Amino acid sequence: MVFPGPLAVTLLVVHLASSQDVAGEASGEQQLCSLREHPIVAFADLKPWVSNFTYPGAQDFSQLALDPSRNQLIVGAR
Protein backbone atom coordinates (compact mmCIF):
# COMPACT_ATOMS: atom_id res chain seq x y z
CA MET A 1 0.00 0.00 0.00
CA VAL A 2 1.33 3.44 -0.86
CA PHE A 3 0.90 6.24 1.69
CA PRO A 4 0.70 9.75 0.22
CA GLY A 5 2.80 11.39 2.95
CA PRO A 6 4.26 10.89 6.41
CA LEU A 7 1.23 12.38 8.17
CA ALA A 8 -1.42 11.12 5.78
CA VAL A 9 -3.59 8.06 6.24
CA THR A 10 -4.96 5.71 3.69
CA LEU A 11 -8.32 4.23 4.52
CA LEU A 12 -9.00 1.05 2.68
CA VAL A 13 -12.59 0.12 2.11
CA VAL A 14 -13.12 -3.10 0.26
CA HIS A 15 -16.54 -3.47 -1.30
CA LEU A 16 -17.25 -7.11 -1.98
CA ALA A 17 -19.53 -7.79 -4.87
CA SER A 18 -22.69 -9.32 -3.49
CA SER A 19 -23.70 -10.62 -6.89
CA GLN A 20 -20.78 -13.06 -7.17
CA ASP A 21 -21.48 -16.78 -7.05
CA VAL A 22 -19.42 -17.81 -4.02
CA ALA A 23 -20.52 -21.47 -4.12
CA GLY A 24 -19.31 -21.88 -7.71
CA GLU A 25 -15.91 -20.45 -6.85
CA ALA A 26 -15.30 -22.68 -3.82
CA SER A 27 -14.03 -25.62 -5.86
CA GLY A 28 -11.66 -23.33 -7.78
CA GLU A 29 -10.32 -21.91 -4.51
CA GLN A 30 -9.80 -25.41 -3.14
CA GLN A 31 -7.78 -26.31 -6.22
CA LEU A 32 -5.64 -23.19 -5.82
CA CYS A 33 -5.08 -23.88 -2.11
CA SER A 34 -3.80 -27.37 -2.86
CA LEU A 35 -0.86 -25.84 -4.74
CA ARG A 36 2.48 -25.53 -2.99
CA GLU A 37 2.74 -21.85 -3.83
CA HIS A 38 -0.37 -19.74 -3.54
CA PRO A 39 -1.14 -17.50 -6.50
CA ILE A 40 -0.38 -13.78 -6.30
CA VAL A 41 -3.22 -11.43 -7.20
CA ALA A 42 -2.21 -8.16 -8.81
CA PHE A 43 -3.58 -4.90 -7.39
CA ALA A 44 -5.03 -4.10 -10.82
CA ASP A 45 -7.25 -7.19 -10.54
CA LEU A 46 -8.54 -6.04 -7.12
CA LYS A 47 -8.94 -2.39 -8.10
CA PRO A 48 -12.67 -2.60 -9.05
CA TRP A 49 -13.45 -3.52 -5.42
CA VAL A 50 -10.97 -1.19 -3.65
CA SER A 51 -11.30 2.49 -2.77
CA ASN A 52 -8.47 4.55 -1.22
CA PHE A 53 -9.18 7.58 0.92
CA THR A 54 -6.66 10.00 2.44
CA TYR A 55 -6.89 12.48 5.28
CA PRO A 56 -4.17 15.11 5.83
CA GLY A 57 -2.69 15.38 9.31
CA ALA A 58 -3.36 11.81 10.44
CA GLN A 59 -0.72 10.55 12.88
CA ASP A 60 -1.86 7.10 13.97
CA PHE A 61 -3.61 4.09 12.47
CA SER A 62 -6.26 1.86 14.02
CA GLN A 63 -6.54 -1.90 13.76
CA LEU A 64 -8.46 -3.33 10.86
CA ALA A 65 -12.20 -3.65 11.36
CA LEU A 66 -14.50 -5.87 9.33
CA ASP A 67 -18.14 -4.93 8.77
CA PRO A 68 -19.70 -8.03 7.14
CA SER A 69 -23.19 -6.51 6.98
CA ARG A 70 -21.84 -3.80 4.64
CA ASN A 71 -19.09 -5.95 3.07
CA GLN A 72 -16.36 -3.51 4.17
CA LEU A 73 -12.87 -3.69 5.59
CA ILE A 74 -12.20 -0.46 7.52
CA VAL A 75 -8.97 1.21 8.67
CA GLY A 76 -9.22 4.33 10.84
CA ALA A 77 -6.72 6.99 11.83
CA ARG A 78 -6.34 9.91 14.20
Of all residues in the chain, the percent with pLDDT exceeding 70 is 53
Number of Cβ within 10 Å of residue 57's Cβ equals 10
Pairing state between β 72-74 and 65-67: antiparallel
List, for residues 52-78, the tens digit of each pLDDT value: 666 788 777 777 788 889 988 787 766
In order of 28, 39, 42, 51, the CA distances from 67 in angstroms are: 26, 26, 24, 15
DSSP states along 14-50: E---TTS-HHHHHHHHHHHHTSSS-----HHHHGGGE
pTM over 0.85: no
